[in-house]
Structure 1
Amino acid sequence: MSTSHKETPHIKPGGVEIAETILLPGDPLRAQFIAENYLENAVQFNNVRGMLGYTGTFKGRKISVMGTGMGTPSMSLYSWELIHVFGVKNLIRIGSAGAIQDHLNLYDIVFAMGSATDSNYGHQYNLPGHYSITASFELLEKAKKIADAQGQKVHVGNVLSSDIFYNADQTALKRWSEMGILCAEMESAGLYMNAAHAGVNALCILTISDHIFRHESTTTEERQTAFTKMMEIALELA
């Protein structure tokens, strides 16, 4: 059976093909925005639980986009199915993050070279030590070249993928900051571990939507423009 006719309890394409390269925003409405504004001949392949997914073409190359929800469990569930059931080879998360370094500013773009985490997702692999969670260098190198060609300044480094949004320990982010962590988000660790275990490529591209220590944040309207820059880098990776 071809992958276009397979389905899972969470993804039911109804015969629509899912491309080998997929963009993964957390918000399914962001997936819809990309499909409607960037993809040609976009066809919806999923709406189970409102998690919208689409396949179309960008500059003649087939590409898919789908929401993942928030947090490692949600990202890990969808990315595992996309990899193992539908044959996706390149998974690119595009999301928002909160800066915890002073040299980062609102709207800056971050490529997550590494992903520190407080999640216990990796326990399933029964590794005899601590696993270093990293992006695919193939995608990271290509993304940096695309950003340079577009004249987009980006930050490349380690991010925090946390299971906790409202942390009872209000000193936690300060300690991560002292280890050089650039920003905090909630999905990259699960995505990177799934991809590594399956031998496929993953990269997390983030836009700084707020600065946690400076109490700065963007509006919904402002995020639309900032996210667009990130999308345009990601789309070129197809």
Structure 2
Amino acid sequence: MSMTPTAHNGAKQGEIAKTVLMPGDPLRAKYIAETYLENPVLVTSVRNMFGYTGTYKGREISVMGGGMGMPSVGIYTYELFHFYGVEQIIRIGSAGALQDGVKLMDVVIGMGACTDSNYAYQYGLPGTFAPIADYGLLAKAVDTANAQGTHVVVGNILSSDIFYNADTTVNDKWRSMGVLAVEMEAAALYMNAAAAGKKALCMLTISDLIYGEEKLSAEERQLGFGKMMEIALEL
């Protein structure tokens, strides 16, 4: 039997921790591992999607990129849950703010993830599934943020399949329902976790304002999410 269970991940059995932090950008995964983890080891680089395992305060943690969009994160998280024995995945990403009260660099925690994706079709459910975070992870994240003095906003986010939407009114519609911010991965992560009986949480740093002019550069997105990381590492 092969020691590498999938074609998308070069890690051998036992090389990935039970807890995985998952940014979208593989270079952000590299930065996180080299900045925060002790003795990080590169365990996979298939398709340049870097994954590292190291320790933080004596606890083994892995950090691995998940790519852009639900098809990408859906593959990686499914394989981590089912083939590598991962118990919890914490997405740490960026998002565009939809509400005026959500500011640049704010940390948003996705209690639920609305979506325009058809990802749930595969489950054959007789209705609409509501993808939600693991409450234990969510509560601990909020408590950790409070202890660290970091302001977080908790609520509904949108996981969209579409970055350049031909419908120019779509953001207004989600905004009118109180959705805090838009990203592209959390709903698939939450559904994969639910189907596998595992835990998941999505934390986001606001990188741009959908109804404003401010936005972070690509380098700032890669390097500037320290507050969110300090929360995630304690989970």
TM-score band, normalised by shorter chain: over 0.9
**What residue number does 1:141 align with?**
139
- Structure-to-structure mapping, 1:38-49, within 5 angstroms: 38-49=36-47
Alpha-carbon displacement from aligned partner over 1:133-170 (angstroms, at most 9, x marks no partner):
10000110111111011000000000000000000001
Counterpart for residue 217 of structure 1 = 215
**5+ unaligned residues in a row in structure 1: which ranges?**
none
Kindly indicate whether the alpha-carbon contact (under 8 Å) linking 1:114 and 1:135 is maintained by their aligned counterparts in 2: yes
The residue that corresponds to 1:60 in the other structure is 58
Match of 1:122 in 2: 120
Q: How many residues align?
A: 235
Tell me if the contact between 1:30 and 1:67 (Cα under 8 Å) persists in the aligned partners: yes
2:72 — aligned with what?
A: 74
Moved over 4 A (4+): none
Partners of 1:53 and 1:223 lie apart in 2 by 19
**Identity percentage over the alignment?**
60
Counterpart-to-counterpart distance in 2, 1:149 and 1:37: 22
Shift of 1:229: 1.1
* RMSD, aligned CA: 1.4
Match of 2:150 among 132, 145, 152: 152
Report the Cα offset of residue 226 of structure 1. Answer: 3.7
Match of 1:175 among 157, 161, 173: 173
Structure 1: distance between partners of 2:37 and 2:104: 27
TM-score after normalising by structure 2: 0.97
- Aligned pairs for 1:159-238 (under 5 A) are 159-223=157-221, 226-237=224-235
- The one-letter amino acid of 2:133's match is A
User: Is the Cα–Cα contact under 8 Å of residues 104 and 215 in structure 2 kept in the other structure?
Assistant: yes
**What do residues 115-150 of structure 1 show as CA deviations (whole Å, max 9, x unaligned)?**
000000000101111111100001101111110110
Corresponding residue SS for 2:24: coil
TM-score between the two structures when normalised by the length of structure 1: 0.95
Question: 1:223: Cα distance to partner?
Answer: 3.5
User: CA separation in 1, counterparts of 2:172 and 2:157?
Assistant: 13
SS of 2:139's equivalent in the other structure is helix
Structure 2 unaligned spans of 5+ = none
